[in-house]
Amino acid sequence: MSRKISRRTFAKVASTAALASTATTAFSSVASQPSASLDMSAPATGREFPKGFLWGSATASYQVEGAVNEDGRGPSIWDTFSHIPGNVVNNATGDVADDHYHRYKEDVQLMKSLGVKSYRFSIAWPRVFPQGAGAPNSKGLDFYNRLVDELLANDIQPFATLYHWDLPQALQDNGGGWESRDTSKAFGDYAGYVAEHLSDRVKHFFTINEFGAFVELGYRIGIHAPGLKLPPGRFNQTRHHAVLGHGLAVQAIRAKAKPGTKIGLAENMTICVPIIETPQHIEAATRAARELNAQYMTVIQEGKYTDAYLAAAGSNAPKFSPEDLKIISSPLDFVGINIYTPTYVRADSSALGFTVVPQPKSYPHMASWWLSIGPEALYWGPRHVAKIWNVKEIYITENGCSSSDVPAPDGIVYDSDRVMYLRNYLTQLQRATADGIPVHGYFLWSLMDNFEWADGYTNRFGLHYVDYASQKRTPKLSAAFYREVIARNAVA
Ligand code: NOJ
């Protein structure tokens, strides 16, 4: 560096030059051409994923579809909740969202240009059964027939989630939604019906997305639909009905789907990361992974609630029969895990043998306050699932982040923080596959910006920027990054 240029000026000039070159190349094919001196097409040693690794992207019905009153769709608890002033930032609703219901063909082309080979979407229960149960609405199911056909025509495998939080309002009104066993039963029936009609083309179904979010936030903390704050006994029973609904859905899909259909779930487990990778802390993190997920993943995998969970709940423990536990633990073909943040754990001398290490105030997070950065969560999450429960097929069903995402004057969103986040997380996922942990695929959340629940449209998670006024989708810098990862089948 010339002594005439200060370090600061150098940094400024260098970053401006980098920005200019990114602007001209980030979205052109030139970016992926090898340069004369460096063969970028050669795989970067040690950064490749296994051959056939399935790269995908994800969305969910209420967050993208809009068209809430079309083709006989019934209201969901999210329609009701978001229309109550004060529940969602800026009183936003999913009435229009990304208008994906009408623009799905355009959106499939976005996937195609990324090079993804799979798409995880969810089916809106109230489109198929407007009242939750009873007479199905064939026009509602037709939308998913059209979407699935379009995906397959573009060589993209459909992965369908049956419940991503848009419970038919009628089930909430009659019996209190998941507070009632009738909802578990209705969910099983709906799941079987959908599998019967789509499994000629959809080969992978997820029953429920994130028990750990919709039950906790919707029925205990009250910041998601249906906005309840149930007392502990009723709340633990609600948790139980959710896992029971999952088990009934597994059985119904098995009974109705075409042979070869695979069934799993997509759960946001608490991801227990050993604070330091020593045998003691690893052991503690493994114990913690069972206990801190006792109410959902552990009971699903083991067919029993842990003693510690039942003891801590005391007289508020859920009421259940041995038959319930058998249903809940119906065998699965694969496990999906949604992973965003780590929970650091250390060994201690308590009865459980672990303790959670609190995050200091300065701990870094992305635009969403809860989204603490911890790339190694993408290593330890699948490793725990494989080692504790001997699961042979794992998918990362969500991973991604929010960023402030402001378009630059040239119209491009230079979300370098999202690229940093993804690169580091994928590095840890690659480590998992290199260690032989059977992760078969990865679905990036999200294909495009969308309705982020109680945050409305303020927190953006997309690879594509959505201008909600015009519905124009524009690829961000992170879309170019992900395209490169997929093309190389390696961390780029
Ligand atoms: C998990 C949820 O499944 C999804 O709906 C949500 O948008 C993302 N996390 C980001 O918060």
Q: Is 2 a residue whose pLDDT tops 60?
A: no
Q: Which residues are 464's β-sheet partners? A: 448, 475
The reply to whether 277 belongs to the active site is no
For residue 374, is it left (φ>0), alpha (ψ between -120 and 50) or beta?
A: beta
What 8-state DSSP symbol labels residue 93? -
**Count of positions (residues) in the chain:** 492
- The structure tokens 């499994």 sit at 199
In the chain, pLDDT over 70 holds for what percent of residues?
Answer: 91
- Higher-confidence position of 119 and 10: 119
Name every protein residue with a CB atom under 6 angstroms from any ligand 1 atom.
Answer: 60, 63, 209-210, 338, 398, 445, 452, 461
Q: What is the rounded average pLDDT of the residues 376-384?
A: 98
What pLDDT, on a 0 to 100 scale, did the predictor assign at position 71? 98
Q: Is 44 a residue whose pLDDT tops 90?
A: no
Which pair of structure tokens corresponds to residue 444? 């990036």
Q: What is the rounded average pLDDT of the residues 331-342?
A: 98
Name the active-site residue from 65, 210, 216, 267: 210
CA of 400 to the centre of ligand 1 (A): 9
Q: How far apart are CA 11 and CA 110, in angstroms?
A: 35
- Higher-confidence position of 5 and 160: 160
Candidates 375, 200, 362, 352; CA nearest to 284 is 352
Provide the CB-side half-sphere exposure for 251 (13 A, CA): 17
What pLDDT, on a 0 to 100 scale, did the predictor assign at position 45? 55
Which pair of structure tokens corresponds to residue 59? 């969305």
Q: Pocket of ligand 1, candidates 370, 445, 460: which has the most ligand atoms within 8 Å of its Cβ, to mutate?
A: 445
In the chain, pLDDT over 90 holds for what percent of residues?
Answer: 90
Q: Is 467 a residue whose pLDDT tops 50?
A: yes
- Ligand 1 atom 5 nearest Cα: 60
What pLDDT, on a 0 to 100 scale, did the predictor assign at position 326? 98
Can you tell me which atom of ligand 1 is nearest the CA of 452? 7
Contact of 402 with 353, CB cutoff 8 Å: no
Q: How far apart are CA 346 and CA 283, in angstroms?
A: 9
- Higher-confidence position of 252 and 38: 252
Contact of 175 with 133, CB cutoff 8 Å: no
CA of 458 to the centre of ligand 1 (A): 13
3-state secondary structure 197-253: HHCCCCCEEEEEECHHHHHHHHHHHCCCCCCCCCCHHHHHHHHHHHHHHHHHHHHHH
Other CB atoms within 10 A of residue 387 CB: 13
Residue pLDDT, tens place only, 100-147: 999 999 999 999 999 999 999 999 999 999 999 999 999 999 999 999
CA 36 to chain CA centroid, nearest Å = 40
Contact of 324 with 317, CB cutoff 8 Å: no
Q: Is 256 a residue whose pLDDT tops 80?
A: yes
What 8-state DSSP symbol labels residue 487? H
Other CB atoms within 10 A of residue 433 CB: 18
Q: Pocket of ligand 1, candidates 398, 402, 451, 463: which has the most ligand atoms within 8 Å of its Cβ, to mutate?
A: 398
Q: Is 41 a residue whose pLDDT tops 60?
A: no
Can you tell me which atom of ligand 1 is nearest the CA of 338? 1
Give every strand in the sheet of 343-347, ordered side by side: 272-274, 343-347, 354-356
Q: What confidence tier does 15 reach under pLDDT thresholds 50, 70, 90?
A: very low
CA of 164 to the centre of ligand 1 (A): 9
Contact of 285 with 380, CB cutoff 8 Å: yes
3-state secondary structure 116-174: CCEEEEECCHHHHCCCCCCCCCHHHHHHHHHHHHHHHHCCCEEEEEEECCCCEHHHHHC
What pLDDT, on a 0 to 100 scale, did the predictor assign at position 206? 99
Q: DSSP letters of 100-120?
A: HHHHHHHHHHHHHHHT-SEEE
β-pairing verdict for 343-347 and 394-399: unpaired
Q: Is 11 a residue whose pLDDT tops 50?
A: no
Q: How far apart are CA 157 and CA 148, in angstroms?
A: 8
What pLDDT, on a 0 to 100 scale, did the predictor assign at position 39? 40
Can you tell me which atom of ligand 1 is nearest the CA of 453? 7
Contact of 423 with 481, CB cutoff 8 Å: yes
The reply to whether 179 belongs to the active site is no
Q: What confidence tier does 24 reach under pLDDT thresholds 50, 70, 90?
A: very low
Q: What is the rounded average pLDDT of the residues 186-210?
A: 98
Query: 297: which residues sit within 8 A by CB, 6+ positions away?
Result: 267, 269, 385
Candidates 68, 84, 188, 204; CA nearest to 133 is 188
CA of 61 to the centre of ligand 1 (A): 12
What pLDDT, on a 0 to 100 scale, did the predictor assign at position 12? 38
- Helices 100-114 and 138-153: crossing angle in degrees, nearest 10, is 20
- Ligand 1 atom 11 nearest Cα: 452
Can you tell me which atom of ligand 1 is nearest the CA of 445? 8
CA 482 to chain CA centroid, nearest Å = 17
Q: What confidence tier does 46 reach under pLDDT thresholds 50, 70, 90?
A: confident
- What is the rounded radius of gyration, in angstroms, for the C-alpha atoms of the chain? 23
Q: In whole numbers, what is the pLDDT of the chain averaged over residues?
A: 92
Q: Is 28 a residue whose pLDDT tops 80?
A: no
- Ligand 1 atom 7 nearest Cα: 452
CA of 444 to the centre of ligand 1 (A): 11
Residue pLDDT, tens place only, 399-451: 999 999 999 999 999 999 999 999 999 999 999 999 999 999 999 999 999 99
CA of 121 to the centre of ligand 1 (A): 12
Which pair of structure tokens corresponds to residue 37? 């001196």
Residue pLDDT, tens place only, 217-253: 999 999 999 999 999 999 999 999 999 999 999 999 9
Q: How far apart are CA 53 and CA 371, in angstroms?
A: 26
Q: Pocket of ligand 1, candidates 122, 159, 210: which has the most ligand atoms within 8 Å of its Cβ, to mutate?
A: 210
Contact of 294 with 305, CB cutoff 8 Å: yes
Q: What is the rounded average pLDDT of the residues 348-373?
A: 98
Can you tell me which atom of ligand 1 is nearest the CA of 266? 3
Could you give the dihedral angle defined by the CA atoms of residues 347, 359, 491 and 154, in that order, rounded to the nearest 10 degrees?
Answer: 110
β-pairing verdict for 343-347 and 354-356: antiparallel
CA of 191 to the centre of ligand 1 (A): 21
* 3-state SS class at 488: helix
Contact of 159 with 172, CB cutoff 8 Å: no
Q: Pocket of ligand 1, candidates 163, 461, 466: which has the most ligand atoms within 8 Å of its Cβ, to mutate?
A: 461
Candidates 55, 76, 263, 89; CA nearest to 164 is 76
